[in-house]
Each structure stands twice: as structure tokens, then as C-alpha cells.
Amino acid sequence: MPGLDFQEQPFIVIWETTRACQLACRHCRAKAVRHRHPGELTTEEAFLLIDQLVEMGRPLFVLTGGDPMEREDLAEIVGYAHRRGLVTSITPSATPKVTFERMKELRDAGLAHWAFSLDGSRPEIHDRFRGIRGTFDLTMERIGWLRELGIPLQINTTVSRFNADDLPAMAGLVERLGAVRWSVFFLIPTGRARLDDLLSPEEHERILLWLDELSGRVPYDIKTTEGPQIRRIRAVRQAAGGAPGAEPGGGIEAATEARRRELAGVQRSRRPVWDGNGFLFVSHVGEVYPSGFLPVVVGNVRETPLARLYRESPVLRALRDPSRFRGKCGYCEFRQVCGGSRARAYAVTGDYLEADPFCTYIPDPRQAARGRPTAAAR
């Protein structure tokens, strides 16, 4: 995987197995509903999708939703993906459908990692975010079952104005829970999320600086989603001779040998990944998007092979070409390593090639003449 050509194959593919979910999360990208859609990909179509991923070089495969646990065929799908050589993870909701028996069934089928969302270190924060009282306690109980079953745990946290002050406490909780990774999502105003829920650009920058520093002293991996500016922060710090910061696995030095082995199984791309660049999202009905947070349909796997869509879609080809980015992202010296949040640019401006409106960095204006895309490139 380290030598992947992102023009040809993605590093990670996320499949929205269903939009059905029993929670009512205030930020839900999917606008999840209570009942499954009759047009969802069938078990057989899921197998065909897996076969296509194998042909594309076996990217990481993540099953999300809605809530994947709403599908009765989940173990069949995980088992088939495992037999075909895919590293498969799952991001279910913490509901009564997550039983010990089903968790064990998925582990035995070959599941590699399990991600639970915790958006606060206390019930009153998390449950408000998730819309159902008792969700925090249920999540903590299920995390205990994961430890008992030996399934590696990832914690997902969506950062917004509702929980920004709680992040230091969350960092400590992630460590106490023995997670191998903390995946920090920066809210995109799509689905149920609103623009008013976002932090300011300055608050985004402050949190990214803190996460970069934190990554060098915790025994778990830290990954950001829609926070690509951390790569610019890391590059500047390293150029100045500072601590390595948020390199993949940056906290391994503080871990025990057992934790080192666990962290070694957390796969990270050596190259920058962003919406449509090493990343693909497949919806519950087969529609293909650059990511779940960038709702621009580029095709459907029921009609066109996934590899063809990824390699030939004009939208995806543009997203993989930073020289086509507009505004300051188009001439920023860090555009190849950062790229800005294409999803946030689209959500705020309506143009996925526009500059990320929540980036505080001001690139050298002398770069503009040679870096700004031409009219033909646009």
C-alpha cells in the first residue's frame, strides 16, 4: 500500500451499508432513518463490490451507515471480505443491536477493527450529541466487550461547538479505554449538521496544533478527517526542527511492547488522502461519492465498475489535481500535502475546488502568479 498510485486506486473505500439507525444524531451526515431502504445493495451486490475492491488492489474497507448492525447479513459480508483478503473495519452505532454474540460472530468472521463514536467524555455531552439518553453508558459497556473479545478499538469523535472544550478530557478517556486510534472528525455542514455548529477557523487551527503536539506523547494513533491542515502544521514544525508531532503512529514510543504490536496493525497512508484522492464512498444504493461529506454523485456501482468511476470521473480527476484548486488553496505551497477540505469548501461555497474557507493560513502571495489555475484548467 505505501506505493499506491492514487490516480489508479484508492487507499480506503467506505461503504454505507444502510441508512437505517435507531439513534438521532444531531450532526448525522446520512440523515439516518428508522427503517431500511428497499433499494439497498443486496448481499450478492455487496460481494460484487468486494470483488471489485480486490481488483483495485485491496484498499481498506470500512462498513458504515446509518448503522451496519441493522443488516442481518453483516457477518456474511465481513467473512467474504476477509476471505478475499480485505482488511475490514466497522463503525456501528451503540444500540441494543450490538450484542456480545454478534460482536463475537463478526470477530470470528475476520473483522479487523471496530470503531465506536464518543463525542464527549461524559454522558450529558455525548447523549445530547447523539439524541438518545443512555447512549454513552451503552457505548462504554460495549467497549468493555470489545476488550474481552480482543477486537482492536478505534474511537471516533466529531468536533463541534458542543464539545470543543471537552477534547482534553476525551484524549484521556481514549487512552484509558485502550483504543489503538483516536479519529477526530471536523464537522462538515451537510446532512443534519448546520453551519452554526462549526467552530471558527481560529478554533480549528488551535485544535489541530494541539492534536499534533498530543500525538507525540500518547500511546495511540491520532487521525484527522476533514482536518487536512494538520499536515501543513506537521511540515512546518518538522522544517523548524521541532518534535515529529503527528506522524503516523507518533505516540508509539510511549507504548508497551504489546501496544506497539497493536499500533503496528493500524494502517496509514504514506501519502495525503482527501476526498476523491485515495478515498471513495459508496452509498447504500450504490451511488459513488468522493467522500460521505462531499455529496456529489460521480456514478453508481450498479451501472459502472468502481475502478472506471474512480479513474475516469471528471470530478474525481479534478479533486486529485491540486493545481486546479481555486483561491489561496490553488497557490498555497502546502497544497500537495494538505489540499484543504474539499468537502468544507463545497458545503460553504458550493464549489469543491474553491479554497477551504476555514483555513487560517495565508500563503505567500508571490506563489499566486505561478500557482493559480488558469481558465483552461478550471
- Span 215-239, pLDDT tens digits: 999 999 999 999 999 999 999 988 8
Q: How confident is the model at residue 107 (pLDDT cuts 50, 70, 90)?
A: very high
pLDDT at 366: 72
Q: Which is more confident, 187 or 190? A: 187
What does pLDDT average to over the chain? 88
pLDDT band (50, 70, 90) for residue 191: low
Lowest mean pLDDT among 22-31, 92-101, 119-128, 353-362: 22-31
- Look-up of cell digits 462504554: 140
- In the sheet that holds 113-117, the strands lie side by side as 221-225, 181-186, 153-159, 113-117, 88-90, 60-64, 12-16, 279-282, 287-289, 299-300
Q: Are 167 and 129 in contact (CB under 8 A)?
A: no
Determine the Cα–Cα distance for residues 119 and 128; give it in Å rounded to an integer.
9
Q: What is the mean pLDDT of residues 294-312?
A: 97
pLDDT the model gives residue 106: 98
Return the percentage of the chain with pLDDT > 90, whole number: 73
For the chain, list the domains and their CATH numbers.
12-264 (3.20.20.70), 323-378 (no CATH)
- pLDDT above 70: residue 142: yes
59-86 pLDDT per residue, tens: 999 999 889 999 999 999 999 999 999 9
Q: Rg of the Cα trace of the chain?
A: 20
Interhelix angle 100-109/74-83, rounded to 10 degrees, is: 20
- pLDDT cut 70: percent of the chain above it: 85
pLDDT at 185: 95
| Tens-place pLDDT, residues 241-288 | 876 554 444 444 444 444 444 554 567 787 899 999 999 999 999 999
Summarize the confidence of residues 323-337 as an average pLDDT: 95
Q: What is the mean pLDDT of residues 39-66?
A: 96
Q: Does position 15 have pLDDT exceeding 90, yes or no?
A: yes
Residue 34 or residue 174, greater confidence: 174
Please state, in angstroms and rounded to a whole number, the distance separating the CA atoms of residues 186 and 60: 21
Average pLDDT over residues 75-99: 95
pLDDT confidence of residue 28: 60
pLDDT at 139 over 70: yes
Amino acid 23: pLDDT: 65
pLDDT at position 302 is 98
Band of residue 240 on the pLDDT scale cut at 50, 70, 90 = confident
The pLDDT, as a whole number, for residue 377 is 33
Query: Which residues partner with 64 through β-bridges?
Result: 16
Please give the pLDDT value at position 24. 58
Mean pLDDT of 193-216: 91
| Whether residue 30 has pLDDT greater than 80 | no
Reported confidence tier of residue 376, pLDDT bands at 50, 70, 90: very low
* Average pLDDT for 111-136: 91
346 and 352 Cβ atoms separated by less than 8 Å: yes
Residue 100's alpha-carbon distances to 33, 87, 115, 145, 198, in angstroms, are 25, 22, 15, 7, 36
The pLDDT of residue 116: 96
Which residues have a Cβ under 8 Å from the Cβ of 170 and sit 6 or more positions away? 118, 120, 121, 155, 157, 163, 182
